[in-house]
Amino acid sequence: MPLENIVEQARQALGRRAGQSPEVPPPPRIRLPEMDAAARLRRFFEAFEKLSGKTHLAATREDACAYIEQVIAGRRAVASNAPLLRECGVTALASVRSGFTEREALRTECAGAEIGITGADYALADTGSLVLFSSAEEARMVSLLPPLHIAVIRRERILTGLDELFDTVPLPSDRSSSMVFITGPSRTADIEQILVRGVHGPGEIHVVVL
């Protein structure tokens, strides 16, 4: 069937005619559910753990650093330049390398590291997702190349969901060239419908909430 015939059938189904201008779309509708801080944290942890993610609520920065050191267990790790990681003492751990400013040097380090450690700009309670804005302080490859990812986030950065994120950051492109959503460990079932983790990114992910 010619393409024009297909398009005409679609027009008729929509009650439109050729050359007709589209209607003005309705304004975006953002819904912000009522959810206190404790409920946000609980829901985020539940959603994150359902995706096989591992969680830790740190009482102090020292507690956060101790948990991360335990997960690293002496393995080679690379940390982003996020100030929060320095504040927690993560970048001072013996097996952690950080402070990279040259892209190729960082790429080489990430390709050989077993663990990547980053901050996270926001977390979404309803889906258990982490939100990272790419920047000089938070390079994407730190969370993508190593097979294990640890993310550190402040508790007040846990949002109810996507609507609240876009209410908080209505124009993400003004802030960064890349906004990444991380929803659990990387996984795919493309081959024979068999679930495999770690194909397109880390196969294990931990989140530490301060």
What pLDDT does residue 200 have?
58
Range name among 117-121, 135-139, 206-210 with the lowest pLDDT average: 135-139
Q: Where are the domains of the chain?
A: 31-209
Q: Looking at the predicted structure, is the pLDDT value of residue 50 above 50?
A: yes
Give the percent of the chain with pLDDT over 70.
92
pTM recorded for the entire structure: 0.83
Which pLDDT score is estimated for 186? 60
Higher pLDDT, 198 or 171: 171
Residue 79: other Cβ atoms inside 10 A: 26
CB 152 within 8 Å of CB 64: yes
Residue with the bigger pLDDT between 70 and 196: it is 70
* pLDDT higher than 60, residue 199: no
Contact 146, 167 (CB under 8 A): no
| Structure token pair of residue 51 | 């995706």
Q: Give the position of tokens 């009522």.
A: 34
- Which DSSP letter does residue 93 get? S
On average, the pLDDT of the chain sits at 91
Nearest CA-CA partner of 90 in 115, 121, 69: 69
Q: Which of 119, 72, 120, 112 is nearest to 96 (CA)?
A: 72
pLDDT reported for residue 97 = 97
Within its chain, how far is the Cα of 72 from the centroid?
20
**What local confidence, expressed as pLDDT, does residue 201 receive?**
64
Question: Mean pLDDT, to the nearest integer, of 21-28?
Answer: 83
Determine whether domain 31-209 maps to CATH 3.40.50.12780: no
- The pLDDT of residue 20 is 87
Averaged over 102-122, what is the pLDDT?
Answer: 96
- The answer to whether the CB of 116 falls within 8 A of the CB of 81 is no
CA dist., res. 93 & res. 86, Å (int): 10
The arithmetic mean of pLDDT across residues 52-81, rounded, is: 97
Q: Which stretch of 5-14, 153-162, 167-176 has the lowest confidence by average pLDDT?
A: 5-14
